[in-house]
């Protein structure tokens, strides 16, 4: 009987230690940005003990920090149950949502992000990341994606071939030279105006449009400025 009590006590101690390790202190180390730290305290620290318990983390499914001047969302990775994140119009230069694997909606418009990894956000249905400095965006694993707005970045390519549920796509104001939406059979809204491609004209001021990538069709382009199109033999 004595040995059983020892074993039970050891198991209980292990459980208590495991529970303690899962808790997250609300401090400068875990949440460096003071504004975000105050938001987390206000919204999720229900017993005001400056610690996020498992139960409190499990209830944190929605974060809305629009326009708060936040410079870092470090600590967002602790919210494994997060389904909705809106961080529009802040001062973010990075955003790590790799551990937010059940995220369904992400809005990060108007920041200064140069990269965004959503490869583990396989439940993502809505992504809006306009007005950043993104040079690449991999949504190949976001097969549930229905809404994608990524305009006003520096994207040179965008692969949506696996986003077969995509209904709305806005990718204007990038540097795309081609866009294949042939597999997006649910698509009913597409906006891809003002994508740029640098060309070098010859000394006599001409450029052969057949040199453009992506099977460019001149007859489908209009509102030319700074030049005109002449169809030759």
Helices (H), 45-183: 54-58
Rounded Cα gap, residues 124 and 139, in angstroms? 9
What is the model's pLDDT at position 125?
A: 98
Using the predicted structure, report yes or no on whether residue 185 has a pLDDT greater than 60. Answer: yes
What is the model's pLDDT at position 168?
A: 97
Rounded Cα gap, residues 70 and 192, in angstroms? 30
What is the model's pLDDT at position 216?
A: 63
pLDDT band at 201 (very low <50, low <70, confident <90, very high): confident
pLDDT digits (tens, 9 = 90+) for 80-134: 999 999 999 999 999 999 999 999 999 999 999 999 999 999 999 999 999 999 9
Using the predicted structure, report yes or no on whether residue 78 has a pLDDT greater than 70. Answer: yes
Using the predicted structure, report yes or no on whether residue 188 has a pLDDT greater than 70. Answer: yes
Tokens of 201: 């004209």
Lowest mean pLDDT among 31-45, 117-131, 149-163, 204-218: 204-218
What is the model's pLDDT at position 232?
A: 57
By CB neighbour count within 10 A (0-12 exposed, 13-18 middle, 19+ buried), where does 79 fall?
buried
Q: Which of 158, 101, 155, 157 is nearest to 124 (CA)?
A: 101
pLDDT band at 9 (very low <50, low <70, confident <90, very high): very low
Q: Which of 65, 68, 75 is nearest to 43 (CA)?
A: 65
Tokens of 29: 């180390």
The pTM of the full predicted model, rounded to 2 decimals, is: 0.78
Tokens of 134: 């993104």
What is the model's pLDDT at position 91?
A: 98
Using the predicted structure, report yes or no on whether residue 219 has a pLDDT greater than 50. Answer: yes
User: What would the mean pLDDT of 140-167 be, rounded to a whole number?
Assistant: 96
pLDDT band at 214 (very low <50, low <70, confident <90, very high): low
């Amino acid at each position: 009987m004595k040995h059983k009590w020892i074993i039970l006590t050891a198991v209980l101690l292990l459980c208590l230690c495991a529970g303690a390790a899962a808790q997250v202190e609300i401090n400068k180390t875990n949440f460096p940005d003071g504004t975000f730290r105050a938001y987390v305290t206000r919204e999720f620290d229900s017993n005001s003990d400056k610690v996020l318990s498992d139960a409190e983390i499990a209830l944190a499914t929605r974060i809305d920090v629009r326009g708060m001047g936040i410079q870092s969302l470090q600590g967002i990775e602790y919210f494994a149950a997060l389904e909705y994140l809106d961080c529009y119009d802040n001062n973010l230069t990075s955003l790590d949502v790799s551990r937010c694997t059940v995220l369904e909606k992400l809005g990060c418009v108007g920041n200064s992000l140069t990269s965004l990894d959503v490869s583990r956000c396989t439940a993502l249905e809505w992504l809006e990341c306009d007005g950043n400095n993104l040079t690449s965006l991999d949504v190949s694993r976001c097969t549930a994606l229905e809404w994608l707005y990524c305009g006003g970045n520096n994207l040179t390519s965008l692969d949506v071939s696996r986003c077969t549920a995509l209904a709305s796509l806005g990718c204007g104001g990038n540097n795309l030279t081609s866009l294949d939406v042939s597999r997006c059979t649910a698509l009913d809204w597409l906006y891809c105006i003002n994508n740029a491609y640098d060309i070098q004209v010859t000394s006599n001021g001409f450029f052969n449009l057949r040199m453009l990538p992506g099977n460019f069709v001149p007859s489908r382009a209009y509102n030319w400025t700074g030049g005109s199109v002449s169809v030759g033999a």
